[in-house]
Amino acid sequence: MMTDPIETPAAEPAAETKHRRIAFERLRERTDELELLVSGLTVFALLSAPSYLLALWMRSHVHLEGALHTTLGLAAQMGIGLCYALAGLFLLHIVVRSYWIGLVGLKSAFPTGIRWDKAKNVGPFTRDFYQRRLPDMDSVIDQADRTASIVFATANVVAIAVVWMSILISAVIALASLAVSYLGLSERVLAWIVIAILMPPVVAALIAWTIDNWVIPLRPALARRVGLRRCMELLLRVNNILPMRLILPLQLTTHGSSHTTRFSVLLGLLIFLVPLAGSLTVAAEGRFSLLGNYSWFDDDSLNEGLRSVHYEDMRTSAEAGQPVPTIPSDRIAEAWLRLFLPHMPARDNALLAKTCASSGQGQAPRHDCTARLWQVRLGDTLVDPSTFVATERRDLGWRGFQAYLPMQGLAPGRYDLHVVWNPEGDDSGLHRRREYRIPFWLSPGFELSVP
């Protein structure tokens, strides 16, 4: 027997209302308090989290290679960008909600709102202008309340969408890397495999949106075709790899209101800015200054100068993730100069696998071939790579080679270490030739007499 469609909607709300734990009206009275509590507790944590994530990534990336390096790099960038985006949204929410609280308090103190007859220094033209354009106090309070709730909801949508997309892309990269490793393919194929896996949902979403919003309004008769309906169903199912049940209730609720456009623009802008902000933050970590104008003292001016990143007693936490050759200090008083040459798996392993494939299975041939990736010259003297010592530096968090250069017989003064990674490399690319010039001053432990 068929159920009367008129009676069913009336029965269900009554049953749902009977089993509700808390009435909606009671929850609505507490929403502003809960929003402020969540925003206040999380905004300070979100502002401090990017520096921690950045430091963790800079310490870790020198040990990684391949898909793991790419996946964790993506996670670090998305995490940093998401922290900044959510912190900005929650700060905006606190500002708007504080403005709303001020309006509510003002309304309770002055229930009648603006009294234009009591407004001082307001002439008739000004009063008439503002009376026609300023909304009443109740409308402003309601608008501020709605805006605060929309900003808070946007933060949740951005968090869900970005976290889920990061997990999805990381899983795709991991699976693609396993396939590349199992089939013995080149690392260059990995990017194309990832694009081939991720493109179908994007294409399906664009096709479904085009058909539903452009084709059907122009030709309504197509909506009655069963084949097209089934095709749209398939496209929408492919598009549902994202958690639409969590995102769409927050997003579609605002549709049909005056906030639809601003919500959609804000949501799309933030989702675009999250990876951009993360990548710019990571890229800016190695820069000396983001705002300073050093056109007359740029990086090329330091080619013959001194950079603190090469001296272990000058390095800062921001330089901890830069794998460059280092010496203890710019002033050397000992009889031997210690030079550390770092090994970076993401940069070195692929090149070593190509150049050292026929170097033999023993440790000595393997050591010699790996050490020849570096070329060290002190003045006119070329250092023999076979004298390099395989080293693990827990204080720096690196592994690599250490060379000990004799200082006996040298006069006090300035000397330049010329270090080259991959001397046979090209001028561009990951495996390009990299040159480092490290000046130091030999100052033995004695003082010159003063006349």
In angstroms, how far apart are the furthest CA atoms of the chain?
118
Predicted local confidence at residue 347, as pLDDT: 85
Question: What is the Cα–Cα distance from 201 to 361, expressed in whole angstroms?
Answer: 47
Question: What is the Cα–Cα distance from 94 to 43, expressed in whole angstroms?
Answer: 9
Secondary structure (3-state) at 122: coil
Question: What is the Cα–Cα distance from 300 to 293, expressed in whole angstroms?
Answer: 14
Judgement on whether residues 401 and 432 belong to the same structural domain of the protein = yes
| Structural element, H or E, at residue 440 | strand 434-442
Predicted local confidence at residue 391, as pLDDT: 92
Question: What is the Cα–Cα distance from 103 to 268, expressed in whole angstroms?
Answer: 30
Q: What are phi and psi of 68, to 5 degrees?
A: -65, -40
Does residue 3 belong to any structural domain of this protein? Answer: no
Judgement on whether residues 266 and 413 belong to the same structural domain of the protein = no
- Indicate the pairing of strand 413-421 with strand 374-378: antiparallel
Judgement on whether residues 96 and 180 belong to the same structural domain of the protein = yes
Judgement on whether residues 303 and 387 belong to the same structural domain of the protein = yes
Judgement on whether residues 349 and 392 belong to the same structural domain of the protein = yes
Number of domains in the chain: 2
Judgement on whether residues 79 and 215 belong to the same structural domain of the protein = yes
Percent of the chain at pLDDT > 90 equals 13
Does residue 289 belong to any structural domain of this protein? Answer: no
* Domain end among 284, 308, 326: 284
Condensed to tens digits (0 to 9), the pLDDT of residues 200-231 reads 777 877 888 788 888 888 888 887 888 888 88
- The CA-atom distances, in angstroms, between 43 and each of 74, 314, 342 are 23, 34, 38
Residue-number span of the structural domain to which 423 is assigned: 299-442
Least confident of 21-30, 32-41, 219-228, 307-316: 21-30
| Mean pLDDT of the chain, nearest integer | 79
Predicted local confidence at residue 336, as pLDDT: 92
Predicted local confidence at residue 67, as pLDDT: 72
Does residue 5 belong to any structural domain of this protein? Answer: no
Does residue 150 belong to any structural domain of this protein? Answer: yes
Higher pLDDT, 147 or 438: 438
Instruction: Using the predicted structure, report yes or no on whether residue 2 has a pLDDT greater than 50.
Output: no
Q: What are phi and psi of 137, to 5 degrees?
A: -60, -40
Instruction: Using the predicted structure, report yes or no on whether residue 16 has a pLDDT greater than 50.
Output: no
Half-sphere exposure for 418 (CA within 13 Å, toward CB): 9
Predicted local confidence at residue 356, as pLDDT: 82
Instruction: Using the predicted structure, report yes or no on whether residue 243 has a pLDDT greater than 70.
Output: no
Condensed to tens digits (0 to 9), the pLDDT of residues 167-176 reads 888 888 888 8
CA dihedral for 143, 148, 152, 155, sign (positive or negative): positive
Question: What is the Cα–Cα distance from 147 to 155, expressed in whole angstroms?
Answer: 12
Judgement on whether residues 320 and 259 belong to the same structural domain of the protein = no
Cβ-based burial of 18 (10 A; exposed 0-12, middle 13-18, buried ≥19)? exposed
* Domain end among 255, 284, 313: 284
Judgement on whether residues 373 and 255 belong to the same structural domain of the protein = no
Instruction: Using the predicted structure, report yes or no on whether residue 29 has a pLDDT greater than 60.
Output: no
For the chain, how big is the Rg over CA atoms in Å? 32
Question: What is the Cα–Cα distance from 60 to 56, expressed in whole angstroms?
Answer: 6
What's the rounded mean pLDDT across residues 18-43?
A: 64
The reported pTM is 0.70
Predicted local confidence at residue 18, as pLDDT: 47
Half-sphere exposure for 257 (CA within 13 Å, toward CB): 13
Least confident of 197-211, 240-254, 380-394, 424-438: 240-254
Judgement on whether residues 164 and 198 belong to the same structural domain of the protein = yes
Does residue 11 belong to any structural domain of this protein? Answer: no
Judgement on whether residues 28 and 132 belong to the same structural domain of the protein = yes
Band the pLDDT of 25: cuts 50, 70, 90: low
Judgement on whether residues 308 and 390 belong to the same structural domain of the protein = yes
Judgement on whether residues 426 and 339 belong to the same structural domain of the protein = yes
Does residue 292 belong to any structural domain of this protein? Answer: no
Question: What is the Cα–Cα distance from 351 to 357, expressed in whole angstroms?
Answer: 10
